[in-house]
Structures are given as C-alpha cells and as structure tokens.
Amino acid sequence: MRNHALWRLVRQVVNVIAATCAAMAVLFVCAAGFWGVPALGRALDPGNGAWTSAVGGRLPASRTLRLPGIVGGATVSFGSHGIAAVNAANEGDAIVALGYLHASFRLAEMDLARRLAEGRLAQLVGSSAVRSDEFELRLGLLRTAQREWAEMPKDGIEARLLESYSIGVNDYLGQLRKNRQWPAIFSLAGVYPADWTPVDSLAVQGELTQELDYTTTPLDYTLLARSLGMTRTMRWFPVLPVNKQNPYDPGPYHPRRLAPLTTTMTTTVSRRPAREIRGTTVAAGLPSVPPAGVAQAAAAMLAQTRALPPGQIHGYPDSNAWAANGPKVSGGGSMLAGDPHLPQTLPSIWFEVAISAPGFYVSGVGVPGLPGVLIGRNRHIAWSLTDTQNQATLFYAERTSKAHPGQYFWRGKWRAMRQVNYTISVRGGAARHLTVNLTVHGPVMTRAGQTVSVDWMGNVPSPDVAVLQQISVAHNFSQFRAALASWRAPAQNFVYADNRGNIGAISAGYYPIVAGGTPWLPMPGTGTDDVVGVIPYTAVPQSYDPPGHVIATANQRPVTAAYPYYIGTTANFFDPGYRASREYAFLDRRSNLTMSGFAALQNNLVDGLAVRLLPSIDKLLRGSAVPTRGGDSPVPPAVWTPMDKQALALLRGWNYSMDPHSAAASIWWALWTDYVYTTFEPWWRSARVPVSLDRTGLAPSTGQASLVEVLERWTLTDQANPAFSPPGNPPGTAASVLRAAFATAVAQLHGKLGGGPSSWTWGKLHSRKFPSLLRAPGLGYGPQAAGGDPWSVDAADGLPVSEAGPSWRMIVQPGTAGHSPPTGWGIYPGGQSENPASPWYENLVADWWNGRYLPMPSAGPAVVRGNVLWELEP
C-alpha cells in the first residue's frame, strides 16, 4: 500500500515536471522561435501575426492621412489598375509622398533589396543567405553607399531627395509599428524593418548597379585560357565581334585625352588622375595564359557568385530601346519605345507612378527604394534605358608574401591592406564574423591560390539620384546630355526623344581604361596595369538626330571596330546584334509609324539570327557543293528519313517567328542548339573546360554570344574552318556538322515530344514564369507556354523556362511643343502591390502577356472621378 502511494507520488511529480517543461517549451517556441522555426504564436496569432497582412490585401480606400513629413500637402490618386499619381505642393512633399507610397505597397521588396545590398539578408532568412551577405560585404555596396552619403553635400538636391524619401518611408513604418499590420514575411520571421535611411536608398542603387554592371568575364577567360589555350580562347572569344552588329554610333570617332576617374561624390576631386593617353590601350598580340594560382582564385570567386540569389549578376542582355523621328513617325515629331529586360518577379522590380509639383512633372517607372523615376517622360522629353554592357569589372592578382603578412606590393613598395570587420547576424544561428581586406584596387575577393582584388566601377560613388532628377526636369537634349555627364555607373544607353522632334542616345557611364593591355583577364596588381582614366564624356558612344531618323539600342556593341577605346570583349555580354538588326530593318523600311507600329515591333517574335542564317543553313543541309577543308570536293548529299524531310520542309516554309504555335521554331532552336554544341563540345571535352564552375560563362551553349557570332561567321563565309574538325573526330565542315546536328535535333524532338514534326510546337518547349520575389512556390505566375528566344525583339532567355524578359514596355509620343500634349503607354507584368492577397498583385500580367498597354498616368491637380484618393496632410 505504501509502495502504491509512493509510486503515485513519483508519477505525479514526473507528470508535473513533464507538463511544465512541455508548456515552457511550447511557450518558448511560440513566443521566440527556435533555430529557424519562427515564433509560431506571435507569427500566427490571428489578431497580430502574419494574418494582419490581410489588411494590405484590401484595395486602398479614399482617406486623409496626417504624415509628419509632409509640409505643404500632397494627394495620391489611384487609377483602376492601381497606377498612382502624386500631386504635391512642392517637390519635397512629392518625394515624401513617393516614399510613403512605395513603402505602402512594396515594403518587403524594399527591405529585401537593402538587406541584400548591405549584407544583412541572413538576419531575415537565416543561414542560407550567409554566403550572399559575405559576398556583398566583400564587394562593398554598403561601404560605397556610406561613402556616397558621407561625401554628399547635405544642402544639395540629391541629399534633400534622399532625406525626403526616407521621411516618407519612415512615416509608413511608424504607422506599422502602431497598427502591427506588417507584410507577412516580417511577422513570420519575427524580424522587422528598421527605419529607412538615405544610405539604404544608395545601397539599393548599388544593388541595381551590381545587377547590371558586375561581371565575372575575366574569371571565365582565365579558365578558358587555361583549358582551351590562349590562341583558341581569343579566336573563339575575340575582343571585337566578327559579325555585323548595327552599332547606333557608327562614328566618326575622335580620340581624346582620357578623363580622370573621379572617386568621390564631388566632381572636382580625383584620386586617379588621367594619363596623357588617347584612344585604346589594348595590347597587340596574344596575352600569356594566367598562372594556376589565378585559375584557382577564379574558381573560388565563381563559387562565390553561384551562392548569390538569382539575378544578382547580370546574365541576359535582352533590353531594347529605340527612337524615331521625322518621316518615320506619323504626323512628324518623334516617338520612343523601351523595354528593359530584367528578372521578372512578382512583385515587379518596377513601380509605376506619375509625380507632379510646381515646376516638376514626371511619369514612368522607378525602383522601390529609390526616389524618382528611372524610365519615363516629362512634359517635354521621354527616355528609356538599355544596359551598355561595357566591361566595368577589373580583377587584379595582388603580389603578396609570407614575409609581409597583411601587405601587398604596389608601385615598388609593400603596403598594408586596410581591414574592415563585419558581423553577420543569422536568424536562428550564431553570428558570423567577416574581415574584408582592401587594396588600392578594391576589396580582396579571395585568397584561394592567389590574392585577387576587384576594381569595379560600381564602387565608384555615382550621383545617380541627382542625375535622374535633372533628367526629369530637362526640356531638351543639351540639358539631358549635361545631366548625364555625372552618371558613372551602371553604364547605360539612354535613348531620348523630345517634343521638338529630336531623338538621341548617349551611353553614359564610366569606361575604365587600363595602362596594360589585357583588362579582360586578371591583371598584375603591382601598379603596371592600373586604371589610368576613363573615356571622356565627349567621346562615349552617342548619337543625335541621325540622318536615318532611327536610333536603336539592343545591348549590341554601340560602336564599330574603329572606335579608339577598349570597352569590352564579345564575351562581355554585348548582344550579338540580331535584335538590333531586326529593329533597324523594321524601322528603316517603314514610315508614318504610330504607337501600334512600335507596339508590334516590341512584341515581335522574329528571330534575327534565323533571318540572317537559315537560308545558308538550308543550302548546306541540302548538300549543295560545299568545299571541305583542304579541297573543294562537295559534301555528298545527305540521306533523309521521312521525319527529317518533314522537319526540313517545315523549316523552309517558316516565317522565322518564334511563335508558341510554330513547330518550325522548335526545329530551328533545337537545330541551332545542337549545331553550337556539336561544333564546340568536343573541343571543350578534350580540353576539360571546368564548365560546372560557371555554366553561363563557360559552357559551349547558345548563351555564349562570342561562340554564336563566330559560328554565324563560319557558317556564312568559312565553312571549312578548323573548328569543325575537333580532336579525335574525322575532318568536318559546317555542312557535315550541321547535318549531324539536324539529325540529333530531330531525334531529340521526337524523343521529347513524340508525334510528327508538325506537332512540335515551340510552346511545348518554351515557357515563361514570374517567380515570387520570396521564391515561395505558389506565389509566382506560370510557367505558361510562350514565344520568343534570345534573338527576337520580344526576347526570352534562360530557356526552356524564361524568368527574365521585358520587365516594362513603354511607348511615348512626346507630342509637339505648343500643339499636342505628350502621351505614353506602358505595361509591366505583375501589379503595384507586393501583397499576394491584393487584387493588384498580378492584375497587369494578362495585359502584358497579350501585348496590351495602359495609358501612363498624368499627374496634376485634376483627379479622375471614381479614383481612390489619399490626401496627405502635415
């Protein structure tokens, strides 16, 4: 009996302890989270957790808001699609309202962008982002942003814009801290955004610059040269293109003295005075192959970039912008179209808005996190951008020694590396510490095998916000051009049209020129190959009212081979020029174009390479006399299977359009892909190119502009090139490789899609999708069958599923001064709200997908009846 009582007591005690422990554990996890598991109680509380984000899923209602940052008053009017128009009593209030507006609809996107740039992503998403944070802190977007802000005159326009914008964002953050209606990601993670600062905006600017301007091409060149040999590497990845590229600035060019590379926000101080060099400094002859240590360092740095979130390193140069005037445009005047191609996500990178205040009016798209409009129009001019694609990333192999720890050798002396220490907070894990070493060239990116630093133009302070503001108030080309003189990075082709019927383009930005001759490879860091200046602004590619009445930029090399300065190699992501060719062909042949004509071109799916090459390919496939290497005996006619014949017939009857319903498009794409692969893959295999280190930059694929260009050239004019006879294979020609590729393509298509050739439609092979910015499955759009390929104006890249593309399509008629007002149409895939529960989350996708446009909003005191109106008062 006594035992029974004792046992019962023990059981009770154990039960009490166990229940208390379980309750405390559950309470702890629900209150604070544990090792990556969010604080479930707080996060999922229906009253205060992630569920409160439902409030942001409702459409906004008309209301009056009192914002501490507003001085004179402002209104925000929303059209039925959610496009906003800000009208304010002064420019400062307009920018405060813009900050408030961006934060209201894109707070999570803004916070993610600044975290990414400042190396604080792991604090929100956990250990998976540590490598990204390490990379960004090494590269130095945060350091650059801090320097920019520190050096910026606080009474200048840029500082005032950045501060006004921050006030607007913080007004909204203040409201959220009271009502707890945070976007779901913050409630679920239990990590909430800090106040917005001007440095955050500058960091977002840096992140955009990185996305457009940071390249790893010299690292790829290193690995290619180490495996293929320097001769083949430079023959297959030449500095200058071997095909026709339709540069928009055909010359003549006038070499001028280099301009100094200004490394401060002010335009008068320079750390690196320019040398008395006129023109290019590219070395004649073949450079030597980089040593093994540099290759090891290159591999390590490529591994760093692989750890970045998608889209952080520029990959697909598919943007378009063109302008026409005079007889090309219906009614005279000018017209401009632009479609920047960027990663397409939900929400979009863009936020469409019109902003007006006395003396200030602009309508277009901007980036949440930045004050102003990047692409758009005002009452006098319109502009759009494409990436210039010049080389802005230079790598230096620093000389170090065990006898001089923490030092590097530069210009005859051992010098101490400057060190910067960072602590990376990790959600659900221990904080990491990172020490970044800095040389005179820039941050040391790796010490694996060889100490390598990077001199990247994105780390040069660039007053982009001030430039965009000046563009917004420009009335004519001289003001537009003068504003862009201060633009340093990322180098962009700014295409222009105005209401006096003028058109123009300037590839503004820094083009670094080095003293040595091989900037496309890692260079010695001892001082012999340093940057000695930049191309002077008067000599950067530009054009104004060309005689043909057309300017088109499609990421092609903007100048001819006669241009006297080095701006990058064919492997530096310059587009092969096929899209530019289509644009010039379309615009040159037509006159009296209207908005619908421009829209037709923007949505055009014709493959420019196919137009150029397919007739010759057809001849080669049919077995007409093709000289072989070392003789002129023809290649014997091929033996075709019935399926081959059907496929060939489809190709011959094709209109070159990469339409999703076209079977010939599939056959062409498969043929070209196999042709590139069959030609180069044996060489790659034989040379053991380490493709896995960077598939985009190293694999022999259609994504390699250089290989596409040389193969186009050989197919048209050099069909017996030795490249068609790889080691271990019998001697070949373009015809024999093409036939093998064709047979492979048909077999692959049959194997993959079954049925006959007429059923192999392009939409079965190619689709588009817009993933969620958070990479949350189910919150994206698609994939859906889609048309286009990298060489159609409506370009699609990253096949078979494209996640980058026309992120914004815009057409503007600036009107005629004193006669007709400017009009603009635009569309981007997505919606104004980042909240997946909002009707404005993806409401613009259908219009974008079907090639439709919406009128760009006009800002002003007049408010359209029925629109939702926010009245912002002090």
Partner 1 sequence: MTKHVSRSEFERLGKRGSYRLGALSLQGVARPSAPRPFRPSFSRTTHGGPIWAWIAASIVGVGLIGATALAGLWFAPLVVGVIGGIAARWGQWRLRVMVPAIVMVSAFGWGAALLDQAARGLPIGATARAIAAIGGLPAFAAVGVAVTLGVAVLLGLVGLWLGRALTPWPPS
Shortest separation between residue 294's beta carbon and partner 1, angstroms: 40
Do the bridges between strand 334-339 and strand 809-813 make them parallel or antiparallel, or are there none, so unpaired?
antiparallel
> What whole-number distance in Å separates Cα of residue 225 and Cα of residue 303?
19
Show the site string, 756-795: x = touches partner 1 by CB under 8 A, - = not: ----------------x-x-xxxx----------------
Shortest separation between residue 150's beta carbon and partner 1, angstroms: 36
* Pair 659, 787: CB distance under 8 Å: yes
Shortest separation between residue 849's beta carbon and partner 1, angstroms: 21
Query: Considering the rule CB under 8 A, would residue 30 count as an interface residue with partner 1?
Result: yes
* Pair 781, 766: CB distance under 8 Å: no
Q: Which residue from 406, 409, 432, 408 is spatially nearest to 419, judged by alpha carbons? A: 406
Q: Which is nearer to partner 1, 39 or 811 (CB)?
A: 39
Q: Binder to partner 1 among 6, 9, 23, 482 (CB under 8 A)?
A: 23
Q: Which is nearer to partner 1, 237 or 841 (CB)?
A: 841
> What whole-number distance in Å separates Cα of residue 344 and Cα of residue 495?
22
Q: Which is nearer to partner 1, 108 or 621 (CB)?
A: 108
Shortest separation between residue 845's beta carbon and partner 1, angstroms: 16
* Helix (H), strand (E), coil (C) string for 447-476: CCCCCEEEEEHHHCCCCHHHHHHHHHCCCC
Show the site string, 154-193: x = touches partner 1 by CB under 8 A, - = not: --------------------------x---xx--x-----
Query: Considering the rule CB under 8 A, would residue 50 count as an interface residue with partner 1?
Result: yes
Q: How many H-runs (helices) and E-runs (strands) does the chain carry? A: 24, 32
Q: Which is nearer to partner 1, 23 or 240 (CB)?
A: 23
Shortest separation between residue 174's beta carbon and partner 1, angstroms: 19
Which residues fall within 8 angstroms of residue 371, CB to CB, at 6 or more apart? 95, 98, 99, 161, 162, 164, 165, 201, 465
Angle at 160 between CA 154 and CA 161, to 5 degrees: 140
Query: Considering the rule CB under 8 A, would residue 44 count as an interface residue with partner 1?
Result: yes
Query: Considering the rule CB under 8 A, would residue 41 count as an interface residue with partner 1?
Result: yes
Three-state DSSP state, 872: strand
Shortest separation between residue 51's beta carbon and partner 1, angstroms: 6
Shortest separation between residue 61's beta carbon and partner 1, angstroms: 11
- Residue 796 exposure: Cα atoms within 13 Å on the Cβ side: 30
Report residue 503 CA to chain centroid gap.
25
Please give the residues from 55 up to 84 whose contact with partner 1 meets the rule CB under 8 A.
Answer: 55, 57-58
Helix ranges restricted to H, 547-662: 578-589, 595-602, 608-622, 642-652
From the list 24-32, 65-73, 469-477, 863-871, the region that binds partner 1 by CB under 8 A is 24-32
Helix-helix angle 130-139:91-118, to 10 degrees: 110
> What whole-number distance in Å separates Cα of residue 435 and Cα of residue 129?
17
Q: Which is nearer to partner 1, 176 or 370 (CB)?
A: 176
Q: Binder to partner 1 among 9, 22, 150, 625 (CB under 8 A)?
A: 22
> What whole-number distance in Å separates Cα of residue 211 and Cα of residue 113?
12
> What whole-number distance in Å separates Cα of residue 23 and Cα of residue 6?
25
Q: Binder to partner 1 among 3, 5, 47, 430 (CB under 8 A)?
A: 47
# binding residues, partner 1 (CB under 8 A): 43
Show the site string, 130-159: x = touches partner 1 by CB under 8 A, - = not: ------------------------------
Shortest separation between residue 771's beta carbon and partner 1, angstroms: 11
- Residue 345 exposure: Cα atoms within 13 Å on the Cβ side: 19
Shortest separation between residue 25's beta carbon and partner 1, angstroms: 9
Write out the DSSP string of 42-88: HHH-TTTSGGGGGGGGSPP--EEEE-TT-SS-EEEEE-TT--EEEEE
Helix-helix angle 157-179:91-118, to 10 degrees: 80
Shortest separation between residue 778's beta carbon and partner 1, angstroms: 2
Q: Binder to partner 1 among 18, 482, 561, 863 (CB under 8 A)?
A: 18
Which residues fall within 8 angstroms of residue 484, CB to CB, at 6 or more apart? 467, 471, 494, 506, 508
From the list 47-55, 383-391, 631-639, 744-752, the region that binds partner 1 by CB under 8 A is 47-55
Q: Binder to partner 1 among 6, 9, 15, 862 (CB under 8 A)?
A: 15
Shortest separation between residue 724's beta carbon and partner 1, angstroms: 49
From the list 19-27, 199-207, 649-657, 858-866, the region that binds partner 1 by CB under 8 A is 19-27
Please give the residues from 826 up to 845 whose contact with partner 1 meets the rule CB under 8 A.
Answer: 835-838
Query: Considering the rule CB under 8 A, would residue 1 count as an interface residue with partner 1?
Result: no
Shortest separation between residue 846's beta carbon and partner 1, angstroms: 18
Q: Which is nearer to partner 1, 31 or 431 (CB)?
A: 31
Q: Binder to partner 1 among 32, 51, 263, 526 (CB under 8 A)?
A: 51
> What whole-number distance in Å separates Cα of residue 410 and Cα of residue 424?
31
Do the bridges between strand 868-873 and strand 63-66 make them parallel or antiparallel, or are there none, so unpaired?
parallel
From the list 30-38, 231-239, 614-622, 658-666, the region that binds partner 1 by CB under 8 A is 30-38
Shortest separation between residue 456's beta carbon and partner 1, angstroms: 33
Q: Binder to partner 1 among 27, 283, 416, 431 (CB under 8 A)?
A: 27
Q: Which is nearer to partner 1, 129 or 513 (CB)?
A: 129
Q: Cα–Cα distances in Å, from 528 out to 190, 407, 519, 532? A: 51, 18, 12, 10
Residue 461: phi, psi to the nearest 5? -55, 135
Q: Which residue from 586, 568, 614 is spatially nearest to 246, judged by alpha carbons? A: 586
Query: Considering the rule CB under 8 A, would residue 260 count as an interface residue with partner 1?
Result: no
* Pair 628, 622: CB distance under 8 Å: no
Q: Binder to partner 1 among 32, 54, 230, 515 (CB under 8 A)?
A: 54
Query: Considering the rule CB under 8 A, would residue 9 count as an interface residue with partner 1?
Result: no
Q: Cα–Cα distances in Å, from 566 out to 307, 393, 562, 570? A: 31, 13, 10, 12
Shortest separation between residue 772's beta carbon and partner 1, angstroms: 7
Shortest separation between residue 52's beta carbon and partner 1, angstroms: 9
Q: Applying CB under 8 A, which residues contact partner 1?
A: 12, 15-16, 18-20, 22-23, 26-27, 30-31, 38, 40-42, 44-51, 53-55, 57-58, 180, 184-185, 188, 772, 774, 776-779, 835-838
